[in-house]
Amino acid sequence: MPASSATKTLARQLSDADSQGIRLSSASLTEPATPAEAFAVQRETLALNGWLTGGYKVSIRPDGSSVSAPMAHITHASESGTAGFDRPAVDALEVEICFVLGKDLPTPGSTPYTRETLLDHVGAIYSGVEFLGHRLDDGSRSPALLFLADRLGNAGYILGEELPTHVIEPGQTYPLTITINGDTVFAGPGKHPNDDPVLAFLAFANALTEPVAQGRIITTGSLCGAIPLPTRAAIAISGFTTLTVTAASTREV
């Protein structure tokens, strides 16, 4: 179905804000009326820019339903655990655990996924770093459907190192230390917001209306919350995973 005029307008506004590294006033925008309309804005934004969907960030609403956003700009860390990331706006980071699909994930049909049948589609589990680059003035505190249309603030993702499968067992905490430009900004333990990295993935899978292809990344929540970043950041992550990342906001200031 072709995108509506309202969908195209909001997608263009968010896309322009992304490329310029600026934030828009939520009051100046037309909020989608439904989650379906917000998801349509997400798709249109990627289409406008020719960005491929490399994965999804997913979470659970208070009512248990799934909320998700496509991720573009996915980078793989080197074998030595180093990576660089830059976008016009890079506002914050989240250290996460993510799933890489080992085979296509079909829609559930009449038989919902269980934890076991879902994990059968996972090829590997990795550490990851999500970068946030808000296009809305109040970021995650913006009106809910505008924030959803803004791809939940996602700017991109770095896929870190492969992890053992026991890291996704419920109820765990994770040794985690993060330094930025030499200052310690988080000293663990890290903890998943749902107490189980699989729960939001399961809700997402059971809400699918189209398949997700092999190789796509699914990430389900920060172990440390959102940590603000300066314009240029040298980031060292240690504990359950080890990564060294440089990140920069490249907009003109």
pLDDT digits (tens, 9 = 90+) for 169-228: 999 999 999 999 999 999 989 999 999 999 999 999 999 999 999 999 999 999 999 999
* Burial annotation 15-41 (CB, 10 A radius, 16+ → b, else e): bebbeebebbebeebebbeebebbbbb
Give Cα 47 distance to the centre of its chain.
18
3 state DSSP class of 128? strand
Q: Is residue 132 pLDDT above 70, yes or no?
A: yes
pLDDT, tens only, 225-240: 999 999 999 999 999 9
Contact call for residues 248 and 232 (beta carbons, < 8 A): yes
| CB-side neighbour CA atoms (13 Å) of 25 | 2
* Mean pLDDT, residues 121-141 taken together: 95
State which residues form the domain around 45: 5-249
Q: Are 107 and 40 in contact (CB under 8 A)?
A: no
Residue corresponding to tokens 């990342």:
245
Say if residues 190 and 178 touch (Cβ distance below 8 Å).
no
pLDDT for position 62? 86
Q: Is the separation of the CB atoms in 100 and 123 below 8 Å?
A: yes
2 pLDDT exceeds 90? no
| pLDDT over 80 (residue 3) | no
pLDDT for residue 252: 58
**Residue-averaged pLDDT of the chain:** 94
The SS3 assignment for 31 reads coil
Backbone φ, ψ for residue 197 (5° rounding):
-65, -15
Q: How far apart are CA 77 and CA 55, in angstroms?
A: 16
pLDDT given for residue 76 in this prediction: 95
Note the pLDDT tens digit of each residue in 137-173: 998 899 999 999 999 999 999 999 999 999 999 999 9
- CA 191/CA 180 separation, integer angstroms: 20
3-class state of residue 147 by DSSP:
helix
- Determine the average pLDDT of the residues in 85-100: 96
User: How many independent structural domains does the chain possess?
Assistant: 1
Residue 58 sits in a domain whose CATH number is 3.90.850.10
Residue-wise pLDDT tens digits, 36-91: 999 999 999 999 999 999 999 999 988 888 999 999 999 999 999 999 999 999 99
